[in-house]
Amino acid sequence: MNRTLALAFAMVVIFGVSVGALLYLMPAPHKPTDYLVTGAIGTLLCLVLLFFLLTKTAKGPGGKPGPEA
């Protein structure tokens, strides 16, 4: 599986799990703002994780590891 496809699939799964967990933990009558908040938190979590993974696995010029390696 391509690295990009695996990363995209992982982001979709993490988003779904985080939104599902947040909706499960919130009290039952959900308002539209509850869906907005859970979606925003899920998106933030996915973007932070994506940024972290891309900085840890980044390659410098010529395919060599970056300066942090």
The tens digit of pLDDT for each residue in 29-67 reads 999 999 999 999 999 999 999 899 888 887 767 667 656
Exposure string over 6-35, b if 16+ CB within 10 A, otherwise e: ebeeebeeebeebbeebeeeeeeeeeeeee
Report the amino acid identity of residue 52.
Answer: F
| Residue 3: partners with Cβ closer than 8 Å, 6 or more residues away | none
26 versus 59: the higher-pLDDT residue is: 26
Question: Cα(1)–Cα(41) distance, rounded to whole angstroms?
Answer: 28
Where does the pLDDT of residue 1 fall: very low under 50, low under 70, confident under 90, or very high at 90 and above? low
